Amino acid sequence: MSAMKRKTSIKEVAKAAGVSIASVSRVINSETGKVSPAVRTRVEKAIADLNYRPNWIGQALRGQTNNTYAMVISSIQNNFFSSVAWEIESRLNDRGAAMLLFNSNEDAALQERCLKEVRSRQVAGVFMLCALDSPQLHAIAGQTPMIFINRKVPSLPDVPFIGIDDRSAAMELARAILQEHEGEIALVSGPQSSATSRARLDGFRAEFEARNRPVADESIKEAELSMESGYACAVALLEDRRRYSAIVCGNDQIAYGVYRRCRELGLSIPVETAIYGFDDNPLNQWLAPWLNTVRVPYREYAEAAIGVMDKLHKGDAVGPTILPYDLVLRR
């Protein structure tokens, strides 16, 4: 396994075909009519013989766009997020583009590092799947098309957003919960630094209060968007043999953590304690038939994201894209 062969360049192809590099370039970019059939076939043969592929770096340097996008995802552990990423990746691939993947892990410092990397790479666009507010984000906003998916950043109101109406969804879910449960209800929200988590918590509380079933302060916990954190909150919530008829979580990951704790305590789900989540992780139908949740349309997210990115490239103004959601009540 010695040193790798240097990749063949357009120059070598030109020499092999006995033509100028300009002609090779023309053949590659299939400028029909601008090159004689004889030359074309000679070049094509040389390309095939040398197994040549145009060097993308040269193309990128010459042109101004490099056909590469960046996706910064806040948790690749979350199957809902990775589904969105994959849907977008596959659409980008369809059009010959590629996607750089970065995981911010819901950590501002890590996100800064990712964004610096993104900036120096001159990507054609950036998809932020749950962004945190941070300086580099503002730097990018001015110079590269960017889209916020699933979570908006209030300090950058002009960056296009794609998501659902989290507050309404939470309120609707709250109504369904009240209809189903007479007993006490607990709330394990996501981090209130996230606009999405805030909207959801706000929706839940507003509706519970409006229906005269306010949730006591000690029955509300703030978790991170992880199973581990959901578990920890459930431990606190369910200590001293305290029990709830329903535990409402800020997202499905939190709900999984809560589920685990309930299982450990021998609670029967959903009879003794029902668990509610948010997102509808695609795995739920296979592994979490006990979970009630709100289905966020991840495929439509991807389609909208691609469409908005196209508009941004054309220089069109783009407002927020609010997509419909569905309640998933598995009972």
Partner DNA sequence: TTGTACGCGTTATCAG
Partner DNA sequence: CTGATAACGCGTACAA
Residue ranges binding its own copies (CB under 8 A): 1-7, 51, 53-58, 60-61, 66, 68, 71, 76-77, 79, 82-83, 85-86, 89-90, 93, 96, 98-103, 105, 113-114, 116-117, 119-122, 139, 142-145, 158, 227, 256-257, 259-260, 263, 282-283, 285-289, 312, 315-318
Nearest residue (CB) to DNA, 61 versus 109:
61
Q: Is the peptide bond before 270 cis (omega within 30 degrees of 0)?
A: yes
Q: Which does 96 bind (CB under 5 to 8 A by kind): its own copies, DNA, none?
A: its own copies
Nearest residue (CB) to its own copies, 58 versus 324:
58
**Could you give the CA distance from residue 204 to residue 174 in angstroms, rounded to a whole number?**
6
The mark string for 43-82 relative to DNA (x by CB under 7 A, - otherwise) is -----------xx-xxx-xxx-------------------
**DSSP characters for 181-250?**
--S-EEEEE--TTSHHHHHHHHHHHHHHHHTT-PPPGGGEEE--SSHHHHHHHHHHHTGGG---SEEEES
What is the number of other CB atoms lying within 10 angstroms of the CB of residue 15?
15
Q: What are phi and psi of 76, to 5 degrees?
A: -75, -15
Q: Are 51 and 85 in contact (CB under 8 A)?
A: no
**Could you give the CA distance from residue 58 to residue 71 in angstroms, rounded to a whole number?**
23
Rounded least distance, CB 136 to DNA, Å: 17
Nearest residue (CB) to DNA, 24 versus 187:
24
Q: Which does 282 bind (CB under 5 to 8 A by kind): DNA, its own copies, none?
A: its own copies
Q: What are phi and psi of 201, to 5 degrees?
A: -60, -45
The residues that touch DNA, with contacts defined as CB under 7 A, are 6-7, 9-11, 18-23, 25-26, 28-29, 33-36, 38-39, 54-55, 57-59, 61-63
